[in-house]
Amino acid sequence: MANVVGSSVCRTAEDEGKPADWVPGGEKQTVVDPMKMFHELPREMQFITGSEAARESMRRANIDIAIAYPITPQSESMQQAGYLYDEGFIKEYYRAEEEIGTFSAISGASRAGVRSLTATSGPGLMRGMEAISSWPGARTPIIMLNMCRVINTPLAIQPDNIEMSFMLNTGILMLHAENQQDFYDYPLAAIMASEQVDVTLPAVVSVDGFFCTHARGPVKVTPAEYKLPPRDGWRSAVPAMDNENPPARISRDAPIQKSNFISYHMHASWQQEVFAAVERSAKYFRDYLGGLVEVINPGADDFIIASGCAVSQAREAVRQEGEQGRTVGLVKVKTIRPFPVEEILDAVKDAKRILIPEFNQAGWLHKEVCSVLYGRCDAVIKDGPRVFGGMTMPTEMILEWLAEFRKEVK
């Protein structure tokens, strides 16, 4: 049985129930320079859900393999990935048995040198954390889409991004999408940054579930006939496994895998290199995303620092304050890892009050910001408002906190 014409994988038209002359959609696309895709190609406005935005991002991402296990609210995005597989935009795709299996399998795929995508939500992410924690040290540039939801009891399926706090110190690149547009743009940028030779790390693009995944929003997309360049598995910090010449070596330095005999020095230097690579990725994200942060009203006395959906609510609070003649600054943190230390310091250097609204109980962004600003900024930093477990954050809540804050800190 012959392969599909021009296909690099053993997927036949007959296997797929397609006409004999079927050509996978991905093979009709043209590879384009990433910077051209991100900044120069014309864009068409669509009004689509976050899940559909993820689909359009995946369509242009030149993905070799996708493996996932369904969990709400991620299920719909991976259902969309299934459609892309059917159309031939994703070369291989299967549903794994559960999350440890998913994240172990995707690691194997990435080690084999192909562009590998997975996706999950809250409890699924927690179930697979053992495998996920091993990705950065294995130098596997996996892309994971994470649709945040409640993980703690009483369980819910509503938005809550506490799960992101569990990934902060793994060595994974972390981006936090504000809206459907970001959930289209960030995965493409994350893929290209994560596969750079001096990075070679996995990347997670998180989005607050339901608010973005299951609601429509305006998204400007590039033409579908263009896709990112393919992954070159040999052009990475740790070369891909040579699966055609078994036994394949899992890593270049075999002792790394021998946990009982590993040198402490080897572990330490390996991990130091992982976190150095996280910092090195910043220059790529600056180019691809136009900066690690977005700053509105620089120089204001009052500032809000936020990520994810909290940015949208803060953005509207800033607009309403403006209608009242009060200037409030806003820092939207796009990349959580690498954390934009210098950008935040520069933005809030003259601020008196900083508010940090979050959709989680832990206040992980507040802790991150405090660790950066401690001793380097005179502003009073307030950890709130915080909502969690699926609670909503009306704009009025941020406005009330700002008013109280002004009374407390003159």
Partner 1 sequence: MLIQDNLILTRSDPSGNGGTQFIYRLKNYGLTAVSRPQEEISMIHWEVEIVKFSDEATARFEICHTTELANKTLKFYTDKSLNEFLGKAFQYFEELGSLEKMLPQEP
Binding site for partner 1 (CB under 8 A): 45-47, 49, 51-52, 76, 159, 179, 210-218, 309, 312-313, 315-316, 319, 323, 387, 392-397
Nearer to partner 1, 284 or 359 (CB): 359
Q: Rounded to an integer, what is the distance from CA 69 to the centroid of its chain?
A: 18
Distance CA 127, CA 193 (A): 26
Nearer to partner 1, 105 or 219 (CB): 219
- The nearest distance, CB 219 to partner 1, in angstroms, is 10
Nearer to partner 1, 44 or 253 (CB): 44
- The nearest distance, CB 318 to partner 1, in angstroms, is 11
- The nearest distance, CB 131 to partner 1, in angstroms, is 29
Nearer to partner 1, 107 or 161 (CB): 161
Distance CA 64, CA 115 (A): 5
- Note whether 7 and 24 are within 8 A (CB): yes
- The nearest distance, CB 301 to partner 1, in angstroms, is 22
Distance CA 201, CA 193 (A): 9
- Note whether 198 and 238 are within 8 A (CB): no
Distance CA 57, CA 11 (A): 23
Identify the bridge partners of residue 388 per DSSP, sorted by sequence position: none
Q: How many CB atoms lie within 10 A of CB 237?
A: 16
- The nearest distance, CB 181 to partner 1, in angstroms, is 11
Nearer to partner 1, 50 or 141 (CB): 50
- The nearest distance, CB 123 to partner 1, in angstroms, is 18
Nearer to partner 1, 207 or 278 (CB): 207
Nearer to partner 1, 251 or 320 (CB): 320
Distance CA 177, CA 37 (A): 19
Nearer to partner 1, 378 or 396 (CB): 396
- The nearest distance, CB 75 to partner 1, in angstroms, is 11
- The nearest distance, CB 252 to partner 1, in angstroms, is 45
Distance CA 173, CA 167 (A): 9
Q: Which amino acid is at 164?
A: M
